[in-house]
Amino acid sequence: MEYSGTLKSSLDTYRTEAEEEANFHSNLAQRFSEEASKLNEFHGKQKEERKKHEDIVHRTHKNKAELYRKMMQCKSSYESKCKSSEKADSDAEKLKFGNKPKEAEKAKKNAAQCRSSALKADEDYKSSIGCVESARQLWITEHSTACDVFQRMEEDRIKCMRNTVWVCCNFVSDVCCKLDNSRERIRQITENCDPSSDIKEFIAQKSTCIAPLQQIEYGSAQNNANSDPGFGSKVNGHIYESEDDYSPTSSNAGSVTSQTVCRAIYDYNPNSEDELALQKGDQISLRSSTTADDGWMNGYNHRTKCEGLFPQNYVNF
């Protein structure tokens, strides 16, 4: 459907503002996408840093557990060899005052070997305890460092999320303000929509006949040939007020004289070069060649100093 006038202006404004609002939403989506990319990048960096410290803590914990297991083995070996040494000493002491010197000597050597093994197991046990303690201290240090890093990372994560939410809210607020301004412009142009002026403009642009066809009346040639119309007589649809307005012998009989002045009662925008622009209140002098048979008249506009055709029903005599 084709529109014109103020309604067309309103629809054009609405179409323009709708396209602008679509651009606002598209830009908003793009900015959201950029913020999401920043969040993903931030999350990736934190994930890498967290994994690095988790691996360090895991290795130190595994090393500590392995050293603790070896320490327990050393402890078990130490306790076993201590018992063997005590038993060997007890057996040697029993055979010392017996009648079997060879067995006593053998038991003495065995007791000496057991004591030596017990001493070595004791040293291994003490060394393993030292290794476990060093591993424990390293584990505590790495664990404490990882906890501090994780705490800082969590604070950074919360700050990043807070700033992202803040920025996104600002994006939405900015778009809402722009949308409100856009819709206010639509409301303003819609308030100026005037159906009456649109209808008049549509009639002026699309009309094909200004006045309806007049009824054809029978006129007797015998009666009209011997009589002149009096003042106020109507000839060819026009009322003549004086003798000067009408002369049955004049070549302009049946036409409006150049002395007739009318006043525009509506605005009229010309659609061609030979038409006359009118504004309500304009004074128009009709030319002698003017005829109203087709609903159009020829006249001179005293305001614009122009001459041309105009619709008969746009003026009042």
Mean pLDDT of the chain: 80
- Dihedral class, residue 300 (left if φ above 0, else alpha if ψ from -120 to 50, else beta): beta
CA distance 175 to 29: 11
- 278 φ/ψ angles, rounded to the nearest 5 degrees: -125, 145
- Dihedral class, residue 295 (left if φ above 0, else alpha if ψ from -120 to 50, else beta): left
CA distance 237 to 21: 58
- Say if CB 25 and CB 175 are below 8 A apart: yes
pLDDT value at 125 more than 50: yes
Note the pLDDT of residue 193. 79
How are strands ordered across the β-sheet holding 296-301?
306-311, 296-301, 283-286, 261-264, 315-316
pLDDT value at 25 more than 80: yes
Give the residue-averaged pLDDT of 49-62.
92
Least confident of 50-54, 94-98, 266-270: 94-98
> What's the angle, vertex CA 137, arms to CA 133 and CA 141, rounded to 5?
170
- Say if CB 210 and CB 312 are below 8 A apart: yes
Note the pLDDT of residue 38. 92
Partners of residue 308 on adjacent β-strands: 299
Question: Which of 15-24, 247-256, 286-295 tops mean pLDDT?
Answer: 15-24
CA distance 119 to 27: 80
Give the residue-averaged pLDDT of 7-32.
88
CA distance 200 to 269: 10
Note the pLDDT of residue 3. 64
Q: Select the more confidently predicted residue: 34 or 13.
A: 34
- % the chain with pLDDT above 90: 36
> DSSP label at 215?
P
252-267: burial string, b at 16+ Cβ within 10 Å, e else? eeebbbeebebebeeb
Digit-coded pLDDT (tens) for 191-232: 887 888 877 777 777 766 555 555 666 666 655 444 444 444
Give the residue-averaged pLDDT of 295-310.
89
User: What is 25-48 written as a DSSP string?
Assistant: HHHHHHHHHHHHHHHHHHHHHHHH
Note the pLDDT of residue 252. 39
Digit-coded pLDDT (tens) for 75-91: 998 888 888 888 888 87
35: CB partners within 8 A, 6+ apart: 164, 167, 168
Give the residue-averaged pLDDT of 146-173.
93
Note the pLDDT of residue 234. 41
Note the pLDDT of residue 177. 92
Note the pLDDT of residue 312. 87
- % the chain with pLDDT above 70: 78
Note the pLDDT of residue 56. 93
Note the pLDDT of residue 207. 66
Note the pLDDT of residue 216. 65
User: What is 78-110 written as a DSSP string?
Assistant: HHHHHHHHHHHHHHHHHHTTSS-HHHHHHHHHH
- Dihedral class, residue 281 (left if φ above 0, else alpha if ψ from -120 to 50, else beta): left
pLDDT value at 7 more than 90: no
- 296 φ/ψ angles, rounded to the nearest 5 degrees: -115, 150
Note the pLDDT of residue 202. 76
How many residues are listed for the chain in this entry? 317
Least confident of 5-14, 133-142, 307-316: 5-14
CA distance 92 to 108: 5
